[in-house]
Amino acid sequence: MGFILISLIILIGITSYFLGNLRAKNLRTSNQKNLKSLSHYYGYYVALWAVVPALLILLMITSFKSFFIEQYVLSDFIALGSYTETELSLLFTQIENTAMGIKLFDENTILIDGAVNKLNYINKTSENLTYVTVLGLSGLLVLYSLFNINNKLNSRKIVEKFLLVLYFTCSLVAIMTTVGIIFSLLYETLRFFSQVPITDFLFGLNWSPQRVFVREAGDLDTRDLANAFGAVPLFAGTFLIALIAMCVSVPVGLLTAIYMSEYASPKVRDWAKPIIEILAGIPTVVYGFFAALTVAPLVRDIGQGAGLTVSSESALAAGFVMGIMIIPFISSLSDDVIKSVPQSLREGSYAMGATKRETIVKVLLPAALPGIVGSFLLAVSRAIGETMIVVMAAGLNAKLTANPLDAATTITTQIVVILIGDQEFDSPKTQSAFALGLTLFVVTLALNFIALQVVKKYTERYD
């Protein structure tokens, strides 16, 4: 339905553009007076009146329709007063299914039949009503705006004003997204903390949310809850894996950046730089697959060859592959920073007889340090927020460990484990994922903020 209706509205819009344009031209020739704007602006003016209010009304109707339909269909049941909110919504889904021809009920047929009939009736009526309202509104406004065109109307100003408002609204989407993120995370997190004390979450040593599932939701013991949602093992696991990743990517990334900016000939640079940046463009699920199927068995075999016990989901494998993934983040950013150190510093150092290495280590790196540290922090925030590699290659069970050969789990892994598939809302288990998400959001935001501040505050200006 929506698609046809929107096409119709757009068709009306295009037609009314030509109508408006034509009317403006006629007006100009018949009155022998100049209009305030070029004639096509009148076309746009009419077309805007035709399309914009109609689309807004359509949006409103579609978002509120289902609520009213549900109220209407269930009115008999609501009048009985013996149903709770959730029972009612369940009932509505069942009625919907019955209307589609799936038989679900054995008893209660009069009421149900009535409701099904009501649903069929209201669905058809509401569809017709939507068509009439939207198209009627559009048509009326086209007529109104066509008659509104006269020599004094400056349609250009109106159209430009509209565009400006549209652009501004689009730029507000960023704010709305942030607000949406914060709202959705905070809402569930606060509900979570009303059941589990925040201190237990932040400092508890035991993470086993599946335990909450075992008991009936009604008789949850608060001590039980506290014991199930201690997030320290997750923080530790996240830290461990990010540390391993940084151990791989910092030396490799930094040395690569130094080679690119100081040693490599332009030809090598032109080839090698894009190839290394491919690493940043590969989807993370590919790294996850690679880590789980190739690197993890390899690490295990090597470890067993050396007589160590290695878990098949070792933190080392996940961290190592994650390290490879973030090499280009460090190398590109550091490369830029090192290159932007002024040439005079290099020449000064060479003039004193320093070798290239001495120049790099003692002059260039200290000068570029804020930028390099900034790139490290950004890489850490990447590593902490990375999901697929750890979901596929790291462990799923929380265990407090500092051994890189052991299985460790991370914040992101647990979010996915909890929320994948069907979730029941209103359970502390589901809400705990949002609390983890909020933690992640705050930490990555803080890291980025610090990184920016470091770069801004400590960068020396050479002018």
Partner 1 sequence: MTDRIEQRINSLNKRLNSEKRFRIYCIGAMSFALAWVLILFLNIFSSGYSAFYRTVIQVDVPFLNLIEDTTQFSEMSSEDINNLSMYSFSKKAIYGLFPDIEEKKDKKMLIRLFSIEFEQEIREFLKSNKSNINETETIYLTASDDVDQVNKGNYPRDLDEDKRRIKDIQLLFFDDLVDRGLVSYEFNLPFLMRGDSREPELAGVGGSIVGSLFTILVVLILSFPIGIFAAIYLEEFAPKNRVTDFIEININNLAAVPSIVFGLLGLGIILNTFGLPRSTPLVGGIVLSLMTLPTIIIATRASLRAVPPSIREGALAVGATKMQAVMHHVVPVAMPGALTGTIIGLAQALGETAPLLLIGMVAFVVDVPQTPLDASASLPVQVYLWSESAERGYVEKTSATIMMLLGFLILMNLAAVLIRRKFETKW
Coil, helix or strand for 314? strand
Interface residue with partner 1 among 7, 68, 113, 251 (CB under 8 A) is 251
Contacts within 8 Å (CB) and 24+ apart, 208-214: 208/398, 209/414, 209/418, 209/428, 209/429, 209/432, 210/429, 212/427, 212/428, 212/429, 213/427, 213/429
Question: Does 226 engage in binding with partner 1 (CB under 8 A)?
Answer: no
Q: Quick one: tokens of 55?
A: 């689309």
Cα 188 to Cα 178: distance, rounded to the nearest angstrom: 16
**Least separation in angstroms between CB 378 and partner 1:** 7
Q: What is the C-alpha separation between 193 and 188, in angstroms, rounded?
A: 9
Within 61-120, the residues that bind partner 1 by CB under 8 A are: 63, 66
In DSSP terms, 207 is beta-bridged to 229
Using rule CB under 8 A, residue 416 touches partner 1: yes
Residue 140 and residue 155: Cα distance in Å, rounded? Answer: 19
What residues numbered 319-338 form the site for partner 1, per CB under 8 A?
Answer: 324, 327-328, 331
Q: State the minimum distance, in angstroms, from the CB of residue 111 to partner 1.
A: 25
48 Cβ contact list (under 8 Å, min separation 6)? 158, 159, 162
- The only residue of 97, 148, 397, 448 in contact with partner 1, by rule CB under 8 A: 448
Minimum Å gap between C-beta 399 and partner 1 is 21
CB of 372 to partner 1, least distance (A): 15
Mark 173-202 with x for binding to partner 1 (rule: CB under 8 A) and - for no binding: xxx-xx-xx-xxx-xx--------------
355 contacts partner 1 (rule: CB under 8 A)? yes
Residue 270 CB, nearest approach to partner 1 (Å): 13
In the window 145-164, what residues touch partner 1 (CB under 8 A)?
Answer: 156, 160, 163-164
**SS3 category, 407:** strand
Task: Kindly tell me which of 24 and 433 has the beta carbon lying closer to partner 1.
Answer: 433
**Does 259 engage in binding with partner 1 (CB under 8 A)?**
yes
Q: CB–CB of 434/192 below 8 Å? A: yes
The reply on whether position 167 binds partner 1 by CB under 8 A is yes
Looking at residue 209, the DSSP 8-state letter turns out to be: T
Q: Which is nearer to partner 1, 142 or 447 (CB)?
A: 447
Beta strands in 261-309 (DSSP E): none
56 near partner 1 (CB under 8 A): no
Could you tell me which of 259, 223, 189 has the C-alpha nearest to residue 415? 189
Rule CB under 8 A: say whether 289 interacts with partner 1: yes
